[in-house]
Every structure is written in C-alpha cells, then in structure tokens.
Structure 1
C-alpha cells in the first residue's frame, strides 16, 4: 500500500502543479474509493496533505506578491469561525455523520460542483465583469459581506470534505472580484487563504483522531516531486485540454460517491 499511496500522491501532485486545482478534490475520493480509508480519516489526512503542500506554494506566491491580503482577511473572517463550528459539530456528531454517509454525500456534491465550475471559470468571470449600472453598484456595496459569506461556505466545506479550495474557491473569487484579481493573484489569494483553513481543520481532525500519519508521509513523498513536475509541464499542456479532462474526472468520482 505504501508505494500505491506514494504513486497516488505523485499523480495528484502533478495535477495540482499543472492546473492549480484537484488536490482535495481528488485525494479524499482516492483514499476512500481506492484505499478503503474511513471518510473522516481520509478528510483529516488530506487536510494535512493540503496544508503542508500549500505552505510551500503560499510562500512562493507571497514572495512574488501574488496574494491580495485584504481579500484573504475578508475570507478568513468567515472561514475560520466556520472551521471551528464544523469541527465542534464533527466532534459531537462525527460518528453518526460518517455512519450515515453525510461526509461521503457532501464530498460527492462538492466534487460535482467543482466539476461544473472548473471549465467555466473564464466564462463566469466574463459574465460578472460585464455587470454595470445598478447591478455593479450593488455588487460593489455588498462585496465585503459576500466575501465573508463565501469564506464561511469554503471553511465549512473544506473542514467537512477537504474540498472547496481550488475550483470552487477560485470561481467564487472570480465572481466577486472580476477586475481586481489577475490570474496569478487569483491563484495566490486562493492558496494563501486555504493554508490556515486546512491547518486549523487538520489540527482539529487530528485531535478528534481522524488522521493516518504513515499514510500522510507516503502521500507527501510522492506529491512533492509531482508538484515540481506538474509546474514544469504547464508550458507544454494546454488548459483547454487539461481543464475539461479534470472536470470529467471530478464529475465521475463525484457521481460515484453519490450512488
């Protein structure tokens, strides 16, 4: 199982390096469907996997000034309390939620939404960028509050399923800030915000007992060279091909978890 989990980490890391998404979206389902890991343990292990790998990526984005810290703060105002509340709920009802299939169903829904969002992020951004008149004024006025609400939604989803950063997070940010965020600052802001959410969520899951440390080590052993390789492949692979392929995989896995 060690070499298989290392291989899984390598494949997921490569996909993350190429597309910037797919880490939590693919790792948790792989652990549940391929390795038979309990859903709560898969989520807890994946949160640590995401926190450690995104710390490295977040440091690079910070040095390159690719993160909008005002937006990160607004997201954290919503996400961090949501993380705490979700962890408290899991501590109180986690066994019942796992046995009743709530975690798996929520994970499946999140994957389907991610699959829908991934290939259409550009179109969504252009649609909101064309907003003018009263609609644009309303969006600008409610932008801070909507960002906090988006953070709360992401914090809950990430803690419960380890999915939410990446495709969903980037799509929400594109809808809220179609002009303010360039492509690089979009990715950097999304990654930097995901670090404290994944870290606090991972600590909470570890305290509950939802973590497999040997498995985590095997995954990281493969993911680190995978991320490096994926980053190098970005210049050779077209996003027009990669994004739909990733969306199809997410859709298939999401439907499989829901059935």
Structure 2
C-alpha cells in the first residue's frame, strides 16, 4: 500500500489522466504516449509495456462504451479487425521474452518502441492529410455503411495486433489510418468509435500475453487505471465538439521527438528537429492547405462537408 502513496505514483496518476483525455478525444496516442512517459519516469521498458497494456484494456473499454451508446462504431469492421489482431497481439509478449535475457529485452523494446513512435507519427500526419484531401475533393458525410473489404481489413488487424503486442504502440494510429485508406467515406466519429471497440479485445489479448511473461507492477498499474479511466471518459464525451487539429499536430511533434530520443539521437539533434517542427511545421501545413484551396490556418481543416440545404430559406448546419 505504501508504494501507492509515493511521488512516483502521483506522477503516473497525473500523466495517465492527461493521456486518457487524448485517447478519448482522438482514439489515438494511448500506448504511443503512455509507454514512453512511464519509461521517462524510470519504469523499465518491459514493465512499462505490460502495465500500460493492462491499464489500456480497462481505459479503452470506458471510451468504447461511450461511443457504443452513441451508435458510432461499425461493428462489421470492428469484428474483422479483431479476427486479425487478437492472436497476433497475444503473441507479442512471448516474442519479446524470446529475444534473450532481461537486459537484451530492455534494449530491444527501447529500439522497437522508438521506431514504432516514428512510424506512428508518420501515419498520424498521413491521416491528417488524407482527411484534408477527401474533404476538399468534395466528399460529404455519408450516412450509408461502406462496402466491407474483408481481407484487407483482417490484414490491417494482424499488423496492428503484432505492433501493439510487442510495443503497446499503434492500436489507434496505424489501424485508424488504414481504415481511412480502405474506407475513405467513413466519418471521423465512426473511425474513433470503431477503433475503440476493436481495440478492447486487441489490447486485452496483448495484456494477457505480457502479464503471463512479465507480470504486473501494482504501484504502476493502479495509478494508470485511476488516472486513465476518468480521463478517457472525459475525452470521449468531448470528442463530438472539440476541434482536434491542433491536438493532432502536437501529438505528431511529441511522438517524433520521443522516438528520436529513444533511438539514441543526441539531445542537440532532437532539440534542433523539435524547433524546426514547431517553427516550420505550421508553415508547411498552411502551404498544403492553401494548395487545396483552404485558408492556411483554419483549425477546422478535417471537417467533413455537410450537404447543402434543399431550400433557400433552410439554414446550413455547422460543419464538424
């Protein structure tokens, strides 16, 4: 019990609450943010992955329940993703255990997580661009369910499950970007809802695999759950009305710098790249937006177009 009343436990509690809000808002960034944060707080990589996965299986259930009640998930797509993701996610912990002794495992996971963070940041930025392109091409929010493409969807689940099973990173970012590529007319709310629903068994399977091989650390797990659960619930409640473009760009920068640091890039290099992303990133994104006929710095860049009113006197509903 004394282990739960320390400064370190309080730090985990506060950080997990903030990460939970991001997960509930966007369906992305949970493992990608929480696992490196735990490692920065001094938790070994294997313990960080194992405890984050156990906590995420609980926290994502909260976000998924909110989206379920609102009817946003596409259960057909979620089911196909689970078929591919669950067995590969379960195998992740055993794959990490097979690489060697504890020290070798820590080095392997640090490198793997760093690479996964850079990959996640890239897919995150790609998602922003794809949504921007689809919107400016004239797509409107479709009320019809998309035609299911079973094989690609199962393969996406398998790749995402393996990545999560090893590093705890990618359950939101990789799978949501892949869904956007395969089903471009799927609305943003349905993307988040579908991902959160399929991520529950995915993360649970990965957590079981890591618990069987690594175990849990209660002084880490309890603050993760106590902070992350209310944060995820709050974020999910805010998802329908909070503008997410600034949050997304910030996550891309954080993931990129964290990944570079974990891959051994010198602090000076990380600082230079971070400054460049902060100063030049908004300018580059503004240039991309203007090339697609949009204002350079409009936060509503990924809103879907709403059909025009049928009568001249009918007001146009707000875009979201």
TM-score range, shorter chain: 0.7 to 0.9
Pick aligned residue for 1:195 from 188, 194, 200:
200
Counterpart for residue 31 of structure 1? 38
Is 1:81 the equivalent of 2:91? no
Which sections of structure 2, spanning at least 5 residues, go unmatched? Answer: 1-7, 138-145, 265-320
Q: Deviation of residue 129 (structure 1)? A: 9.3
CA contact (8 A) 1:126 1:178 kept: no
State the shift of 1:174 in Å: 0.3
Q: Does 1:112 align with 2:118?
A: yes
* TM-score (normalizing by structure 2): 0.70
Other structure's SS at 2:99 match: helix
Choose between structure 1 and 2: higher helix proportion: 1
Long gaps (5+) in structure 1: 132-139
Query: 2:98 aligns to what SS in structure 1?
Result: helix
Picking from 67, 73, 88, the partner of 1:67 is 73
1:137 is aligned to none
Local SS of the residue matching 2:22? helix
Q: Is 2:219 aligned against 1:185?
A: no
2:290 corresponding residue in structure 1: none
TM-score, length-normalised on structure 1? 0.85
Question: CA distance change for structure 1 residues 205 and 108 in 2, over 3 Å: closer, same or farther?
Answer: same
**2:279 match:** none
The answer as to whether partners of 2:63 and 2:233 remain within 8 angstroms in 1 is no
1:41 paired with 2:47, answer yes
Q: Per-residue displacement from partner, 1:128-184 (whole Å, max 9, x unpaired)? A: 8999xxxxxxxx9993211111111100011111111122211011011112x2111
Q: Residue 254 of structure 1 corresponds to which residue in structure 2?
A: 259
- Counterpart check, 1:13 vs 2:20: yes
- Between 1 and 2, higher relative CO (CA 8 Å, sep ≥ 6) is seen in 1
> Greater shift after overlay, 243-252 or 141-150?
141-150
Number of residue pairs the alignment of both structures matches: 249
**For the aligned residues, what is the CA RMSD?**
2.8
8 Å CA contact retained: 1:43, 1:210:
no
Larger Rg: 2
Structure 1 residue 20: Cα displacement: 3.0
Alpha-carbon distance in 2 for matches of 1:256, 1:63: 40
